[in-house]
Amino acid sequence: MKMKNRRERGSTLIVSLVFLLVFLVMALSIFRGALTSSQAIGNMQWRNEAISAANETIDRLLSNANVATQTATVVQQVNGVDGNSGLPYDVDGDGTNEILVRFPTIDGLTGPQCLRVRPIPATELSPTREEDAGCFASSSATGIAVSAASGGATPATGAASLCSNSEWSMTVRAAEPRTATSVDVVQGFAVRVPTVSVPADCE
């Protein structure tokens, strides 16, 4: 009888240890899952904050009239004179700048890149529109208006104005220096520019 009780106690102990081991594995799995979820949520939050900072920088740049006419100056304003600075952002309001936004160098190019340009024909402009006023040269040079037999003025055809429509691509990088993580945001935009300011390598 005593031997039987010992065997029962021994088997009970083994079963208890097995259950404890199973519970331990389950607890570790739950802890690992919670940790992974927490990291994923933190990464998602950081990504959203970084994209928000990058978009804010893009909005500020697009409101600047020089973004397509003085690109070297714009790059220096964002990246600093040394080329390694950037625009700091305090995303959580604690007085510490967590994110740095700058123009990255991609394929040897930094800052807004001109994709294509099309000179605007004089016939597409109107002397009565304020935004078109700076695109006119003298009427003899552009053919904007020529005298008609009736004494009025009619638009001429084929002559180019002083302005061009240009299309650009701009990439900004929002980075967190502590973790060396970053996200790039690409923005395309179109803007009318003086033809003389168009980069020579723009198609």
Q: What is the pLDDT of residues 72-111, one digit of tens each?
A: 888 888 888 777 788 888 877 777 778 889 999 888 888 8
Domain-located, residue 121? no
Domain-located, residue 64? yes
- List % helix, strand, coil for the chain (3-state, nearest 5): 45, 25, 30
> Among 125-139, 152-166, 178-192, which stretch is predicted with the lowest mean pLDDT?
152-166
pTM above 0.75, yes or no: no
Bridge partners (DSSP) of residue 88 are 100
Domain-located, residue 154? no
- Coil/strand/helix, residue 39: helix
| Tokens matching residue 185 | 């945001």
Domain-located, residue 138? no
Q: Are 186 and 171 in contact (CB under 8 A)?
A: yes
Domain-located, residue 143? no
Average pLDDT over residues 146-163: 56
Answer whether residue 68 shows pLDDT above 60: yes
Domain-located, residue 111? yes
Predicted local confidence at residue 170, as pLDDT: 92
Domain-located, residue 155? no
Residue with tokens 């404890």, as numbered in its chain = 20
Q: What is the pLDDT of residues 11-37, one digit of tens each?
A: 777 777 887 888 788 888 877 777 666
Domain-located, residue 20? yes
The C-alpha atoms of residue 159 and residue 121 are separated, in whole angstroms, by 6
Predicted local confidence at residue 21, as pLDDT: 84
Confidence class of residue 66 from pLDDT cuts 50, 70 and 90? Answer: confident
Q: Which domain holds residue 186?
A: 2-116+164-197
The C-alpha atoms of residue 73 and residue 113 are separated, in whole angstroms, by 14
**Count of beta carbons in the 10 Å neighbourhood of residue 62:** 16
The C-alpha atoms of residue 105 and residue 158 are separated, in whole angstroms, by 40
Average pLDDT over residues 156-176: 83
The C-alpha atoms of residue 142 and residue 19 are separated, in whole angstroms, by 91
Structural domains of the chain, count: 1
| Tokens matching residue 195 | 């033809």
